[in-house]
Amino acid sequence: MENDFLNQAKEELTEYGRSVGEVGKLRLVGIISRVLGLFLLILTIVLCALAVFTFAAVAIIDILSEFMSVWAASLIVGSTYLILLLVAILCRRPLFINPFIALLTKQIKTEEELRLKTIEAEHQVEVQQVRMTCQVENVVREFDFYVSLFSRIRQAIKRLLSLKKK
């Protein structure tokens, strides 16, 4: 009986540990994906601004200056790049965050799926906590029962011995 209890307690603790580990892993994936997503967004914006503005802007302004004034050509090119920058900022989740979530978890593709998996893992942790609590309560109840039974048997033996002496 003791081995069964110990094995069951060991299994419960192992399952609880796995559940807690899964919650931690999913939360870590969420944090890392956001940090890496933001880092890549900033890096992309900086590289886009440097490379595109440097190489393409001069060439396009030079071409457009043949048909209009240089300041008008510069205004058109600048506004085009601002629109591209705005699109990168607005589409940061599908462009940056979701690919990292998919890369780090291999099964989860979006932030919503990650959130649902995290809730599911947290639920598993709660279920394991309830199971362990019930297991401990059962052991305490069983221990109390045996202590009570032992004390009653001891009292009964004392009474029998005291009756025999009289």
Q: What is the pLDDT of residues 106-117, one digit of tens each?
A: 677 777 887 888
Q: What is the mean pLDDT of residues 144-151?
A: 90
**Environment class of 89 (CB within 10 Å of its CB; exposed 0-12, middle 13-18, buried 19+):** exposed
Torsion-angle region of 106 (φ positive above 0: left; ψ -120 to 50: alpha; else: beta): left
Cα–Cα dist 74/43, whole Å: 24
Query: What is the DSSP-derived secondary structure letter of residue 24?
Result: H
Helix, strand, coil percent content, the chain, rounded in steps of 5: 90, 0, 10
Cα–Cα dist 47/29, whole Å: 26
Full-model pTM: 0.47
In this structure, are residues 109 and 98 in contact, taking their beta carbons and an 8 Å threshold? yes
pLDDT in tens, 35-79: 777 677 778 877 877 786 778 778 888 888 888 888 888 888 888
Cα–Cα dist 116/66, whole Å: 57
Cα–Cα dist 110/154, whole Å: 66
